[in-house]
Structure 1
Amino acid sequence: MNAIAAVAPRRRWRSWLWKLPLLFVAVTVLQVLLLRFVDPPFTAFMAARQLEAWGTGDFGFRIAYDWRDLDEISRSVPLAVIASEDQNFANHNGFDFKAIEKARAHNERAEERARRRNKPVQRLRGASTITQQTAKNLFLWRGRGVTRYARKGLEVWYTVLIETLWPKRRIIEVYVNTVELGNGVYGAQAAARTYYRKDAKGLAPAEAARMAAVLPNPRRYSIARPGPYVQRRSNAIQRQMRYMGGPAFLQNID
C-alpha cells in the first residue's frame, strides 16, 4: 500500500512535466500579444538597472522613461535607428542572416589582426535586428556565461513571436520608446528632454542621428558630450538616412 501511495505523486509530477512547455508557450504568447495593444509600463532591462542602482546603495536613482506614440515622435528618430542598427528592418522576418554572416567575417578578421598585434579586440560588430533588441529589452537580461546562451535561446523565441504577432510599425514604436539612450535614460522622449530640452516630436535629423550613434553602448558613449567616434558615426548615419530616402522610407513600415 505504501509503495502504491509513493508512486501516485510521481505520476502526478510526470503528468505536469509534459504540460510545462505548453504553459510556457501560452504565457509567452499572451505576453507578446498583450503588448501589441498595451504600452509597456517598464521593461526587464529597466527593472534590472533600477535594482542594480539600489544594490550599490544609490537609492536616489530613478529611471527616466516617458512613453510617446510613434506619431508624437519625430520621424527622424525611427529613421535614424533603422539606418544605424538594422537597414533591412522593413524586409526581414526578425533575423538578418546576411548581416550575421558579414558580422562573423568582420569579427574574425578583427580578432586575427588583434592577435597579430598582441592587443585586445577594440570593437566587434553585432548583427542583432531591431526586433531581436526589442525582445531582449522587454523580456530578458544581459547574461554572461551559461545564462547568456539561455538568454539567446529565449531571444530567438520572443523574436519569432514579435514578428508573428506585431506589425513592423508597432515593433519600431516599442523599440524607440524602450531602448536605453544613456545611463538610466530610456526611449526617445526621455532622451530628448534629458539631452536637448525638447520633446521627441521636435528632434531634428542631426539630433536623432546623434542619439542613434551611441547605440548599442549608451553608457560608454555620450549624446551630451559626443567624442570623435560619436560625431563620425552620427555623420555617417545622417548620410544613410538621406540615402534611404529620408522620412519617406518609413512608408515601408506604416
Structure 2
Amino acid sequence: MRARRPRRRPWLRRLLLLPVLLAVFSVLQVAALRFLDPPLSMFMAARHADAWRAGDSGFRHAYQWRDLDRIAPALPLAAIAAEDQNFATHHGFDLEAIQKAREHNARGGRLRGASTISQQVAKNLFLWNGRSWVRKGLEAWYTVLVEAIWPKRRILEVYVNVAEFGDGVYGAQAAARAFFGRDAEGLSQTQSARLAAVLPSPRRYSAARPGPYVQRRTAAIERQMRQIGGVAYLERLD
C-alpha cells in the first residue's frame, strides 16, 4: 500500500504566500499614487498618534495639496539644493553621497546623512519613523518602487507636498500660508530656501523665526541653487 504524502499545512502555505501578497499590494499602492494625490502620509498619521498619546485630542495638522505647477519653482529647486543635488541622475540611492557621509561621520562631529529625496518620499509617505532593520529594508523596497514607477517630477511633487516644514505643517501650500501669509506659488527664492533650511529638523528650527543657523543655511542653499543651474535644473527632470 502506497504511503500517503503528508499534506502541507494550510497555515504554512498562507505564511509563504504572505510576502508575495505584501509585495503585490505595495506595487499597486505605489502605482496608484503615481496618479492619485495622497490625502495624508504615514508621518502625518504618526504625528496625530503622538498628539493623542500626549492628551492633545484637538491637534490638527495643516496640509493642502498643490500640483507642482502651482508651487513656485524656487521651492523644489531649494529642496534639491539642500537635500539631494544628484536627484536628476541617481536611481533612488546616491552612492557617492553615502560614501562621503560615512567618511565624514567617521571623523566625528555633526552626523551627516545621505538620504535622497526618493528615500524620504518612501519613508514619509508609506512608513513609520524609526531605525530598525525592517523599516530600513522596507524603505529601500519602496524607494526602488517609487523610482521604477514614478517619473522624477512626480517624486519631487509628492515630496514638496508631504515634507514637514513645521510641527504639524506639511507641504508647500500649508507652510507658505502658515509662515509667510501667501500661497505656495508666490514664494520668493529666499523664502523657499528658508523652508528647505529647516529640513530635516522642522520641529527644532523655524522658518518663520530663523535663528543664526537657519540664516546661514538659507544663504548656503541659495548659493547651491545658483551653482546647480537655477530653475533650468528642473527642466532636466523627466
Please tell me the TM-score bracket, short chain as reference: over 0.9
Which of 116, 136, 147 is matched with 1:129 structurally?
Answer: 116
What is the CA distance between 1:13 and its match in structure 2? 1.3
Name 1:241's counterpart in structure 2.
Answer: 225
Which AA in structure 1 matches 2:181?
A: R
Say whether residues 1:140 and 2:127 are aligned partners.
yes
Which of 180, 188, 197 is matched with 1:213 structurally?
Answer: 197
**SS of aligned partner of 1:19:** helix
- Separation in 2 of the partners of 1:142 and 1:22? 24
Say whether residues 1:149 and 2:133 are aligned partners.
yes
Which AA in structure 2 matches 1:127?
A: A
- Separation in 1 of the partners of 2:10 and 2:189? 60
- Separation in 2 of the partners of 1:152 and 1:221? 26
User: What pairs up with 1:61-210 in 2 under 5 angstroms?
Assistant: 61-110=59-108, 121=109, 123-144=110-131, 148-210=132-194
Name 1:41's counterpart in structure 2.
Answer: 39
- Separation in 1 of the partners of 2:200 and 2:161? 15
What is the CA distance between 1:17 and its match in structure 2? 2.1
- Separation in 2 of the partners of 1:51 and 1:19? 31
Instruction: Report the identity percentage.
Output: 64
- Separation in 1 of the partners of 2:192 and 2:62? 18
> In proportion to residue count, which structure has more helix?
1
Which AA in structure 2 matches 1:166?
A: W
What is the CA distance between 1:225 and its match in structure 2? 1.1
RMSD over aligned CA atoms reads 1.2
**SS of aligned partner of 2:34:** helix
Aligned length: 234
- Separation in 2 of the partners of 1:24 and 1:50? 25
- Separation in 2 of the partners of 1:143 and 1:99? 21
Instruction: Summarize deviations over 1:75-117 as a string: whole Å, max 9, x none.
Output: 001000000000000000000000000001101101xxxxxxx
For structure 2, the 5+ residue unaligned runs are: none
Which AA in structure 2 matches 1:186?
A: Y
**SS of aligned partner of 1:52:** helix
Which AA in structure 1 matches 2:197?
A: A
Which of 50, 55, 58 is matched with 1:57 structurally?
Answer: 55
Instruction: Summarize deviations over 1:153-181 as a string: whole Å, max 9, x none.
Output: 00000000000000000000000000000
Which AA in structure 2 matches 1:76?
A: A
What is the CA distance between 1:12 and its match in structure 2? 1.1
Instruction: Summarize deviations over 1:130-167 as a string: whole Å, max 9, x none.
Output: 000000000111114xxx22110000000000000000
Which AA in structure 1 matches 2:209?
A: R
Name 1:253's counterpart in structure 2.
Answer: 237
Name 1:16's counterpart in structure 2.
Answer: 14
- Separation in 2 of the partners of 1:32 and 1:69? 18
| TM-score, normalised by the number of residues in structure 1 | 0.90
**SS of aligned partner of 1:224:** coil
**SS of aligned partner of 1:60:** coil
Instruction: Summarize deviations over 1:166-198 as a string: whole Å, max 9, x none.
Output: 000000000000000000000010000000000
- Separation in 1 of the partners of 2:15 and 2:64? 41
What is the CA distance between 1:19 and its match in structure 2? 1.2
- Separation in 2 of the partners of 1:31 and 1:15? 24
- Separation in 1 of the partners of 2:177 and 2:233? 26
For structure 1, the 5+ residue unaligned runs are: 111-120
